[in-house]
Amino acid sequence: MKPDYLPTLDLKRNYRRVKEEIRRAVDEVLEEQAFILGPALSAFEADVATYLPVPHAIGCASGSDALLLALMLLDLKPGDEVITTPFTFFATVSAITRLGAKAVFVDVDPHTYNMRTDQVLERLTDRTRAVVAVHLFGQMVPLETIEEELRSRGVVLIEDAAQAFGSWRFVDGTPRRAGSWGDLGCFSFFPTKNLGGCGDGGMVTCGDDGYASHLRSLRVHGSGKIYYHDEVGLNSRLDALQAAILRVKLRHLDEWNEERRLVADRYALLFSEAGLLGDVTPPAALEGNGHIYHQYVIRCRERDALQAFLETEGIASRVYYPLCLHLQRCFSFLGYGEGDFPAAEALSSEVLALPVFPELTGVEQERVVEAVGRFYRSRQS
CB 198 within 8 A of CB 191: yes
Q: Are strands 228-229 and 223-225 parallel, antiparallel or unpaired?
A: antiparallel
Q: Which of 86, 119, 79 is nearest to 100 (CA)?
A: 79
- Omega before 321 cis (within 30°)? yes
Among residues 102, 193, 225, 249, which one is catalytic? 193
Residue 6 pLDDT more than 90?
yes
Residue 87 pLDDT more than 60?
yes
CB 380 within 8 A of CB 317: no
Instruction: With 0.95 as the threshold, say if the pTM is over it.
Output: yes
322 — pLDDT class (breaks 50, 70, 90)? very high
* Cα atoms found within 13 Å of the Cα of residue 63, Cβ hemisphere only: 25
Mean pLDDT of 300-319: 98
Q: Which of 215, 199, 172, 235 is nearest to 69 (CA)?
A: 215
381 — pLDDT class (breaks 50, 70, 90)? low
Average pLDDT, whole number, for the chain? 97
Whole-number pLDDT of residue 1 = 55
Mean pLDDT of 73-94: 97
66 — pLDDT class (breaks 50, 70, 90)? very high
Residue 8 pLDDT more than 80?
yes
CB 138 within 8 A of CB 113: no
Q: Which residue has the higher pLDDT, 224 or 167?
A: 167
**Any catalytic annotation for residue 193?**
yes
- For residue 260, with 0-12 CB atoms within 10 Å meaning exposed, 13-18 middle and 19 or more buried, which class applies? buried
Q: Which domains does the chain have, with CATH numbers?
A: 11-250 (3.40.640.10), 253-380 (3.90.1150.10)
Mean pLDDT of 331-345: 98
User: Hey, which bits of 10-89 come out as E strands?
Assistant: 56-60, 81-84
Residue 326 pLDDT more than 70?
yes
Whole-number pLDDT of residue 300 = 98
Mean pLDDT of 249-253: 98
Mean pLDDT of 43-64: 98
Q: How distant is the alpha carbon of residue 358 from its chain centre?
A: 17
Whole-number pLDDT of residue 224 = 86
In angstroms, the CA 285 to CA 292 distance is: 10
In angstroms, the CA 133 to CA 120 distance is: 10
Whole-number pLDDT of residue 225 = 86
79 — pLDDT class (breaks 50, 70, 90)? very high
In angstroms, the CA 196 to CA 205 distance is: 17
380 — pLDDT class (breaks 50, 70, 90)? confident
Mean pLDDT of 331-353: 98
Whole-number pLDDT of residue 330 = 98
Whole-number pLDDT of residue 86 = 98
In percent, how much of the chain has pLDDT > 90?
98
Element (H or E) spanning 351, and its range? strand 351-354
In angstroms, the CA 217 to CA 16 distance is: 37
Counts for the chain of helices (H) and strands (E), in that order: 12, 15
